[in-house]
Every structure is written in C-alpha cells, then in structure tokens.
Structure 1
Amino acid sequence: PRHWQWGGCSEDIRYGEKFSRDFVDVKEDKESDEGIMNLHNNEAGRRAVRGRMQRVCKCHGMSGSCSVRVCWRRLPQLRIVGDSLSTRYEGASHVKIVERKRGKNIRKLRPIHADMKKPNKTDLVYLEDSPDYCEPNDELGILGTRGRTCNRTSAGLDGCRLLCCGRGYQTRVRDHEEKCRC
C-alpha cells in the first residue's frame, strides 16, 4: 500500500511541452532534411526535461508523525537538463534522411553507416560534421585559432588546451611595474 497521497499541484509538463511545440517546432520545415533533424532534436530536449522530473514530498501530521505524506512532481534544475543534453551532444549520432515508400513518402533518420545503431528518441542527431574551427577557411569565414591568446589555467573555451587544437603554445611572461599610491 502507498503511504503517500498525490498532491495534484505538480508543474504542468504537458503544457510546457505543447507550448514548446507550438513555439519552436512550428518554425521548422517538416519536409526538409534540416527540419526533420531539428524536430527530432527538439523532441529529445523535451524528453530530457520530462525524464528528469523530480518527485518532491512533504509530511503532515501531529508533532512530525508524517501520518500523511503529500507528493508532487517538480521540473528539474536547468543545470541537470543542460548536463544531460551536453553528454548527449558529445555522443550525437551522424544520420542521413532515408525515403520510405509505403503508400506515401515517409522520410526517416537513419545512421550514416549501416553498422551503427538507429538513433532513439532521446539521442541527438546531426546531418553534417562541424567544420574544423582550428584551421582558417575563407569560404566559411573561419579565421582559425593560430596566433590567438589563450588562458593557460582555464578549462573553458579560452583555455590553451582547447583553443590551440593540440599544436602546443608559447608562454610569455610580462613584468609590469607601476608606482603605487602608498
């Protein structure tokens, strides 16, 4: 037997999902390859939120006896959803669009290589590899990263490890003297 009762005041995930479909999905061309990819990824994002909803409970009763426990579902913290999507992004599936003819044309996402698993509804997908931002590419307007200043102690985007693309880097130490107002 359940020793808690549903509070009924959960955050309305269905409304949020409908709103995101009406607001984000409506702009996508459902016939284009890019639109099909974006609609899939949008749905994966909604599933990331839904799958991380948290049950929160509160006890009620005389002097802390917890004779009635009321529970509800709460949206996860943005950091939790973001971390999950970041992990999914790192393992995104390279796909192509395949036409299936069963009465009418149905366009489906399939792995670029036949030996790879088909992406599920929570996987993020992509159609083209990202360009190499380390090297200059005039056609795409990419300047490359050679000659840029990096932060040796940073693990972020400005860090030498990422910004220098494994080419190594030179360290310069500068002394700067100025008079203090002692």
Structure 2
Amino acid sequence: MRTQRLVARLYLLLMFPADIIGLWWAVGSPLIVDSNTICKNTKLLAGRQKTICKHEPEVVAEVARGARVALLECQYQFRNRRWNCTSASRSLSRILKTKNLRSFTPFTAAGVVYVVTQACSMGTLPQCTCEHPARDKSSDGEWEWGGCGDNVEYGYRKSRDFMDARKRKRKGDLTTKIQLHNNEAGRLAVKSFMRQECKCHGLSGSCTLKTCWKKMPPLREVGIRLKETFDGAIRVIISNDGKYIIPEGITIKPPSKQDLVYSDPSPDFCKKNRAVGSLGTKGRECESNSLGVGGCDLLCCGRGYSKTLLAFRENCKCRFLWCCEVICDTCERTKVVHTCL
C-alpha cells in the first residue's frame, strides 16, 4: 500500500506542475495509478495528454504501468544509497530541482518507453505493430530483417507526448528545461541501445540464412546505465539569453543529450526531514565490512549501527532421485544483520 501511494505521488509530480499538486493532496491521492485516475480531470491535462486519454486509454494504462516499473527499478539501483528512490514528503516539488529527485524523471521516461514498446510487441496495443525495418542492402544475403522487432519509435513517441506535454508550454524556466532534458536522456537510454537479435534458418540446424530484428536492451541494463549517468550528473545554470542550460563551471563540457543534469545539490538524506522529503537512514540495513556505498559508515552517517542475529530455515543437501524427484533436508542458518541507529 505504501509503495502504491508513493507511485501515485511521484507519478503526479512528474506529470503535472507543482502548482496543482496541492489540489491532489486536498482531495487525497489515489492509491493506484490507472488510466481512469490519470484522465479523470481533463483540466489537469495538456495538449497530447488529452488526446491520448480520449482516444488511447489502453496506452495511458501502459504509461501508468511504466511509472510503476520505473519506481521499482530506481529503488533497486539506489538500494544501497542514502537516498533509495523513496520520499516521505508531500513537498517533493521543493527538491524537484535537486540531483536526486531531478534524476528520477529519466527513470520514469525510460520506464514508459520500455513498457509501451513491450506492449506493442506483445500485441496488446491495437494501434501499433511490430517494427519492420527496410532490408539492409549490405547484408549480402546472409541475413534479412524479419520477425517481430520492438517498435521503440512508438514507445519513444508516446513517452514524449505524455511526459513532456505540459512542460513544453512552460519551457522558458530552468526547472522545466532540466526536466525536459532528463526526460529525453531517459528515453535515449532505451532507444539508443537497441540491439540486433537473429535466428538461423536451414536444414539440420544449419545457418544458411538468418532472420534478424531489433530488440530493446534488458530493463536492468537500462537502469544500470541511468545510475551510472546519475553519478556523473552535471550541475547547470540557464544561459544569459534564457534559451539553453549550460554547465555551472566554465571548465565542464556542455551536457550531451544522454547526460543527466540538475541545478541544486541534494540534502544528505541522513535524518528524517519532511521539508525535503527525506526518510532518513535510521533502520536501514547496511554492510559492516564495506567502506563504500552501502557500507555502515556511509549509510548510517556516522551514527553507528546495531547487530542482530537472525535465524532462518532453508532447503539444503538436496538430492536427485531417479526419476524426477528432488528431496532436500531443512537446515537452520543464522545471519547477522546490521541496522543503522
């Protein structure tokens, strides 16, 4: 239930500007993000969002699912960080410009691309089909395009139409420029890393001809790429003419389309602070023998940690019996858990 509430809060924050978030808090945020919830109040929608809600409700359902998938992937990638892609605050808009929250938006944009494209390939979206690229003339007849390629262009377009619709109407301010930039970086983390998969055809397993198609990278790979880009995110300011974002430091190269950017530093997230949306790290599990990310020294912010011995049971000494039966003993194990104070 808590995760569902968080999905709803983050999704509404990413889809709509901060000045209308208060309305959702006043009426109570929905527990589950679905197409009916998103499209219920057309006054909160803009441009292409209205069109998609009216004519393609099944796409909106996949958009919502993409947001949920993105949240879970973000939480996995940042599971050992002080900020683990969660927040306890209604005031998320206050830190939307920080490195952490601003860098969550590309996860959502990528998640929407991924899930919509996947639904297209599975045939659950009647308005799109598999991708069928033109035959590659340089293949020399050794392979040809075929099969059901992932139509990433469709997923990319729907993610852009829905995620960027309202922000494009306000694209003159720094916050909007950063969000649009990071949304695009998230989409490119999928689109720019499409891979080619092939299947052999021929008698007796020979490979006289290969049929090939385009396939998205694994979602976990996309998440790893975004986390690595997050670690190298570039702090930016707006140019004097107000048209561009530029690095804050004159010696830093301008961000590419695949770089992540932010304008304000994040809080340290060590202590619970509703004003900045921090849950704090008290009660988080840590690794006592690690000096890096996830280690108790860093994760517990120098407050120390407790040790708890947990007992549990698991299958062990498994044997295979002819035919088709596996028998295991039950062994008792213990595990030391370290928890931040």
Give yes or no for the alignment of 1:64 onto 2:198: no
Q: Out of 109-118 and 61-70, give the one that drifted further.
A: 61-70
Aligned equivalents of 2:252, 2:148: Cα separation in 1 = 43
CA RMSD of aligned residues (A): 2.9
Aligned equivalents of 1:122, 1:97: Cα separation in 2 = 18
For structure 2, list consecutive stretches of 5 or more residues without a partner in the other structure: 1-137, 311-341
Deviation of 1:8 (Å): 6.1
Deviation of 1:51 (Å): 2.0
Q: TM-score, normalised by structure 1?
A: 0.78
Residues 160, 8 of structure 1: CA spacing in aligned structure 2 closer, same or farther, 3 A cutoff? same
For structure 1, list consecutive stretches of 5 or more residues without a partner in the other structure: 101-105, 176-182
The aligned counterpart of 1:7 is 146
Q: Percent identity, aligned pairs only?
A: 42
Residues 143, 78 of structure 1: CA spacing in aligned structure 2 closer, same or farther, 3 A cutoff? closer
The aligned counterpart of 2:306 is 171
2:285 maps to a residue whose letter is N
Residues 48, 150 of structure 1: CA spacing in aligned structure 2 closer, same or farther, 3 A cutoff? closer
Deviation of 1:169 (Å): 1.1
Q: Is contact 1:136–1:142 with CA below 8 Å preserved after alignment?
A: yes
Matched residue of 2:267: which SS?
coil
2:240 maps to a residue whose letter is E
Aligned equivalents of 2:193, 2:277: Cα separation in 1 = 39
1:128 maps to a residue whose letter is D
Deviation of 1:108 (Å): 0.4
Aligned equivalents of 1:53, 1:138: Cα separation in 2 = 40
Q: Is contact 1:59–1:66 with CA below 8 Å preserved after alignment?
A: yes
Question: Greater share of helix residues, 1 or 2?
Answer: 2
Deviation of 1:135 (Å): 5.2
CA deviations 1:92-115 (Å, max 9, x no partner) are 000011133xxxxx5101000111
Q: Is contact 1:150–1:158 with CA below 8 Å preserved after alignment?
A: no
Deviation of 1:124 (Å): 0.4
The aligned counterpart of 2:238 is 97
Q: Out of 25-34 and 1-10, give the one that drifted further.
A: 1-10
1:163 maps to a residue whose letter is L
1:34 equivalent among 170, 175, 179: 175
